[in-house]
Chain A
Amino acid sequence: MLRITGGKVYAPANGIDGVVKDLFIDDSGRFAASAEGCRTIDAAGMIVFPGGVDVHTHVAGGAINFARAMTPEDHRRTQAFMRTKTRRSGLGGMAPTTFATGYLYAGMGFTTLNEAAVPVLSARHTHEELADIPIVDKSSLTLMANNEIMLDQLQKGEYERAKQVVAWYLWAAKSYGIKAVNPGGVAAWKYGKDAKQLTTPVEGYGNLTPGTIVTQLAQICDDLGLPHPMHLHCNNLGAPGNITTTLDTLQHLEGRRAHIAHSQYHAYGGDGWDTMCSETAQLAEYFNTHPGITTDAGAVVFGDTVTITADGPWQHLLYKLTGRKWGNLDVENETGCGIVPYTYRPSNLVNAVQWAAGLELLLLIKSPWQVFLSTDHPNGGCFWRYPEIIELLMRADVRKEQLQRLPDKIKGRITLPEIDREYTLLEIATAMSAGPARALGLTQKGNLSVGSDADLVLYHEDDNIAQMFSHPRYVIKGGEIVLEDGEIREAPQGREFLVRPAYDPGTDEFIRPLFEDCYTMSFENYPVEIERIEHPVVRDCHKVQ
């Protein structure tokens, strides 16, 4: 039991905006209406947020592990975590090791993560790594939009069958929801093609178009009653002029739920790298007029990072553009995977546009319940740099200062200089916690209601915003004080959220011959057993009305 008194509480989901209020936590690690005779934290002079929730990050599994192996140059220069009584050893940097990932996230007040891209083939590996990320609670999304068995069903017009297959895959991967990456494009890449237009048929799949794939997958998510809608990485990522593809996608999705991932990478105008500009105003306008749809920024911060995505064709292009290292993983029939280290430079016009576009989306989309803090870690930058972005959102003068670093040619390509909006603390709490928790359908996260998980972060109020958000005074996870005075005190094992959508029991026997036809592993070894998940929390699904 724990009592927190005197802190200024910001809890958007509970409508609490900077009110000094006592909070109580019971023995099961949930918020309670009262608590007597227990430890009390005097939070006077502090601000209290619900623990952060990252809606889109890449922290476990084959791809990030490959990225770690590919970047030894970063390991030499980065922060090392020495083993202590409460901590295992590890490395920070561009692609932190598993244990360090937990310490770094908890170290800035984040207590829930959503690993946004898991092929079923490497789900087992991913869960092993998620189990090694301490403190935080986790969920993971299964890559589906280029899965050949599923695409074959959509091509044949067998919607019901496709739905059964998707549900089977979700339970096989012990996953929380569906991720769609460059729908059709990664499958087409196996024929040396990509899919940039929603209405052009996907190479190798007859009349099936990316537009059909996204709409039907979104419908499947709704029909299966998944708590999180389809999590979509749109077609044509990163390319100048891709705003038309993005808007076209959104129009296709109308009437269905969707979360658009890292929309910064999908909001460009121009027709080449020389003329590339930000078209975030158009995209933001769409979100502002469609309050049912959510997104995360995928903001860019300047510096070194490593990009990893299931979008194999894009990574091949990025490798050709940069001449840096390139890693490509074969994920058989399910998806692709590419890894390229990258440096975002303020002097580079394209990077400068990307940096501005991420902030513009966060500032131009009016409701923080719709746009969430993310860098698409590690693609736009590392998650431990979120406090820098928070500062840029809260301080227009810091943005003005940073804009000075950009090349003169940036004029007319971005709208950031004209935006005066500054986030309030309540809006930050929404974009980093309450909003993503709601979008993920994690009702026990991101709020301080009695019965919800007691995940909290307490900051000493400070004018230096980046400093304040990167060094919380206390972090409380499930009622336990995990961080105090910048030191990890406890590193408890978090839980993993997954869904069990209902599917026809005959689906096993339907998939078996298709599977045995083309996969390199045996069918029996493929699904991840529930015993493999540490502290699973299984959600039943109910049809979305």
Chain B
Amino acid sequence: MPITFYLKRDPTVPLEAEVLSPDVMAGLSNAEIRALTVYHGKRQLPLGEFFDVEGQRSPDLVLHGALHKVRWIGRSMSQGSITVHGSVGMHLGAYMSGGRIEVHGNASDWIGAEMRNGFIHIRGNAGGQVGAAYRGSLRGMKNGTIIVEGSAGLEVGMRMRRGTIVIRGPAKDFTGLQMKGGTIILMSGAEIRTGAWMNRGTIISLKPLQMMPTFAHATDMNPIFVHLLANYVRQFGVHMPAGAEGTYRYYSGDLSVSDKGEILVWQPTL
């Protein structure tokens, strides 16, 4: 039986609730869970002030409600699962190292920021800085997978080091900014400056992209690894075309920084 939370009082200012994590709650009784501290702005309040809680002692959490002001859900989690029916606020799954997060609704900025492993699936739209590095940090997500069914905001995968991000809807500017590794799959393309300052890693776009002048067209090809990647993402319902359907146009860059990343843009056979 999972632990179920129903939002009963809308926070008027952001509610910082990093206690909403299986690592914190897996061993706690219902009363202990309700007594956990959350920060409503600068005020420390018990979690029970904002949520009705059912169940106890489970690594699986189910949250209901418009949680767009609730931040840090699943912060640093390493196990178990969180399922959200409704929207979520910033920093969902930041620093997580394992477990699964599923959101049936929209998410805000910084989901999976600096995550080390685990899986995040957003059924709606996401904000900016998906899987990114926090300001000043050298590296964003180090491993794991993030799937966004809707659109995404600015700086998707900024400084990511490894792992996979799939954005089914359009992404905004600076996707893959300063990317250092890993893979971003853009099913509906992105706005401008994709891959700026990237020095490793792969961005694959299934729609044409406006390329920066610091990316050089190298060749047209169907790399083997795309087949392997396609096999991996198929389990999440993501179809990547390959083979006879067309080729990938391979761009190398960003030439304005050292080392080189790659952007592959799908060119269907006409």
Q: Which residues of B lie under 8 Å from residue A76 when comparing CB positions?
A: 134
Q: Which residues of A lie under 8 Å from residue B234 when comparing CB positions?
A: none
A73 within 8 A of B: yes
| Contact bitstring A58-98, B, C-beta under 8 A = 1, else 0 | 00000000000011111010000000000000000000000
Task: Mark out the residues of chain A between 221 and 243 whose CB falls within 8 Å of any chain B CB in the assembled complex.
Answer: none
B135 closest partner in A (C-beta): A72
A324 to B136, CA, bound (A): 10
Q: Which residues of A lie under 8 Å from residue B135 when comparing CB positions?
A: 72-73
Which of A70, A72, A325 touches B134 (beta carbons < 8 Å)?
Answer: A72
Q: Which residues of A lie under 8 Å from residue B134 when comparing CB positions?
A: 72-73, 76
A70 to B135, CA, bound (A): 10
A104 to B159, CA, bound (A): 33
A232 to B134, CA, bound (A): 38
A325 to B136, CA, bound (A): 9
Taking chain B's interface residues, is the majority helix, strand, or loop, or is none over half, making it mixed?
loop
Task: Mark out the residues of chain B between 122 and 171 whose CB falls within 8 Å of any chain A CB in the assembled complex.
Answer: 134-138
A70 closest partner in B (C-beta): B136
Taking chain A's interface residues, is the majority helix, strand, or loop, or is none over half, making it mixed?
helix
A343 closest partner in B (C-beta): B138
B94 closest partner in A (C-beta): A76
Q: Which residues of A lie under 8 Å from residue B137 when comparing CB positions?
A: 73
A164 to B228, CA, bound (A): 76
Q: Which residues of B lie under 8 Å from residue A70 when comparing CB positions?
A: 136
A73 to B135, CA, bound (A): 6
Measured CB to CB, the closest approach of chain B to A539, in angstroms, equals 41
A227 to B67, CA, bound (A): 63
Q: Which residues of B lie under 8 Å from residue A325 when comparing CB positions?
A: 136
Q: Which residues of A lie under 8 Å from residue B136 when comparing CB positions?
A: 70-74, 325
| Contact bitstring B100-140, A, C-beta under 8 A = 1, else 0 | 00000000000000000000000000000000001111100
Measured CB to CB, the closest approach of chain A to B206, in angstroms, equals 33
Measured CB to CB, the closest approach of chain A to B89, in angstroms, equals 17
A369 to B31, CA, bound (A): 59
A205 to B137, CA, bound (A): 42
B199 closest partner in A (C-beta): A323
A205 to B135, CA, bound (A): 43
A72 to B136, CA, bound (A): 6
B137 closest partner in A (C-beta): A73
B133 closest partner in A (C-beta): A73
A70 to B137, CA, bound (A): 10
A71 closest partner in B (C-beta): B136
A41 to B151, CA, bound (A): 66
Q: Which residues of A lie under 8 Å from residue B138 when comparing CB positions?
A: 73, 324
A243 to B135, CA, bound (A): 39
Which residue of B135, B136, B137 has the most chain A CB atoms within 10 A of its CB atom? Answer: B136
Task: Mark out the residues of chain B between 37 and 82 whose CB falls within 8 Å of any chain A CB in the assembled complex.
Answer: none
A74 to B137, CA, bound (A): 8
A70 to B134, CA, bound (A): 13
A325 closest partner in B (C-beta): B136
Measured CB to CB, the closest approach of chain A to B44, in angstroms, equals 10
Measured CB to CB, the closest approach of chain B to A212, in angstroms, equals 41
A324 to B138, CA, bound (A): 8
Q: Which residues of B lie under 8 Å from residue A74 when comparing CB positions?
A: 136
A70 to B138, CA, bound (A): 13
A73 to B136, CA, bound (A): 5
Measured CB to CB, the closest approach of chain A to B253, in angstroms, equals 18
A73 to B114, CA, bound (A): 11
| Contact bitstring A310-327, B, C-beta under 8 A = 1, else 0 | 000000000000001100
A324 closest partner in B (C-beta): B138
A72 to B137, CA, bound (A): 8
A71 to B137, CA, bound (A): 8
B258 closest partner in A (C-beta): A323
Measured CB to CB, the closest approach of chain B to A88, in angstroms, equals 15
A sample of 7 inter-chain contacts (CB < 8 A) reads A72-B134, A72-B135, A73-B134, A73-B138, A76-B134, A324-B138, A325-B136
Interface residues of B (CB under 8 A from A): 134-138
Nearest 7 CB-CB pairings of A with B? A73-B136, A72-B136, A73-B137, A72-B135, A71-B136, A73-B134, A76-B134
Question: Apart from A72-B136, A325-B136, what are 12 other A-B pairs with CB-CB below 8 Å?
Answer: A70-B136, A71-B136, A72-B134, A72-B135, A73-B134, A73-B135, A73-B136, A73-B137, A73-B138, A74-B136, A76-B134, A324-B138
